[in-house]
Amino acid sequence: MLLLRGKFHSEDQNPAMRFVQRLYRPALSWALDHRAITLGISVVFLVGAVVLASGIGSEFMPPLNEGDIMFMPIADASISLPQNIAYAKRQDKVLESFPEVVYVAAKIARAETSTDPAGLNMTETIVHLKPRDQWRPGMTLAKLKSAMDRAVSLPGVANIWTQPIINRIDMLTTGIRSEIGVQVFGSDLTDLEAKAREIADVVRTVKGATRYLSRAGDRWPVSGHQAEPRSGGALRHRRRRSAECHRDSHRCENNITTTIEGRRRFPVRVRYAPEFRSDPRDIANVLVTGANGAQIPLEQVADIRQVSGPAQINSENGLLEVSVLLNAVAGTPAA
């Protein structure tokens, strides 16, 4: 930029180019006269570059301080949306009480987009922090996360602490919500969950991993490391008893119309009020129209019961996947 300005001339008229050519031409002549030495030096440099490049993957880049904290509590898979909202309000109020926090914003369950497959038991909370010079004396980010984790811990809720940008990068590249995790692949969801719990039990014995671990009963840890819950969702199972029931039930389940809102279309169905479908016994007493036009209880043509099933199913490369999330709250590295 400093040399190439004004009117351009040929290379022979440019003082800088004449100086470079005086250095380059003797070097080129020497290299052509001593080809073996020149190729030997090139091979040495190539081998050295390969050796240096092989060690790049063994070094970790220091974590970037983004200025914000992302708090991701994961409740039991069978939690209801109102209960999770109550948990989020309680935790947000506690987080806002810290002097280092400016504000807290929480997103519960999934957003209005197909790229956010979050369940009702998931919450993503952005904790916006003040500049470091406005923190309490002696307070560090690790101490702040540890204090926050103890303050917002709830029974049956696993806390994950990360940062907004790195969390999105981790989830896009690996699909794991925490900074470190173990993915288990297979074809049977029950076996995968059992293996994931075994791995979580082993991880808890690693030095630096059990310091901030506490358990809620015998199922999921409150913080630290957990096998990501997949089962535990309450499902209504209805098994038809006959072809006649199949025809009647199919008639009851059809969409009655379609509503159009701009370019979007939504099917419309008629549902019973919550007080008539909150319990399997209430559903069993619902009257349906038989093939002969008679009103008969649903329990006479179908078996209805509440079972426990998967609340969320993940897959990758054609295999089912369960993750074991590792979370060192205070930044203690696992061995």
> What tens digit of pLDDT does each residue of 45-86 get?
999 999 988 877 665 667 788 889 999 888 887 788 888 899
Per-residue model confidence (pLDDT) at position 103:
93
Question: Residue 154 corresponds to which amino acid?
Answer: L
Which burial class, exposed, middle or buried, applies to 282 when counting CB atoms under 10 A from its CB (0-12, 13-18, 19+)? Answer: middle
3-state DSSP call for residue 255? coil
Per-residue model confidence (pLDDT) at position 327:
62
Residue 171, CB-side half-sphere exposure with 13 Å CA sphere: 15
**Distances in whole angstroms, Cα of residue 176 to Cα of each of 40, 88, 153, 182, 323:** 47, 22, 21, 8, 7
CA distance 26 to 31: 9
Per-residue model confidence (pLDDT) at position 330:
43
Comparing CA positions, the residue from 35, 61, 44, 120 lying closest to residue 86 is 120
The fraction of the chain above a pLDDT of 70, given in percent, is 77
**Sign of the CA dihedral running 167, 170, 171, 176:** negative
Task: Please give the CATH topology (third level) of the domain spanning 233-308.
Answer: 3.30.2090
To the nearest 10°, report the CA torsion of 95, 99, 102, 104.
Answer: 0
Q: Which of the four CATH numbers 3.30.70.100, 3.40.640.10, 3.30.70.1430, 3.30.420.10 does domain 68-230+315-326 have?
A: 3.30.70.1430
Q: What is the pLDDT of residues 119-156, one digit of tens each?
A: 788 889 999 999 999 999 999 888 998 899 989 988 87
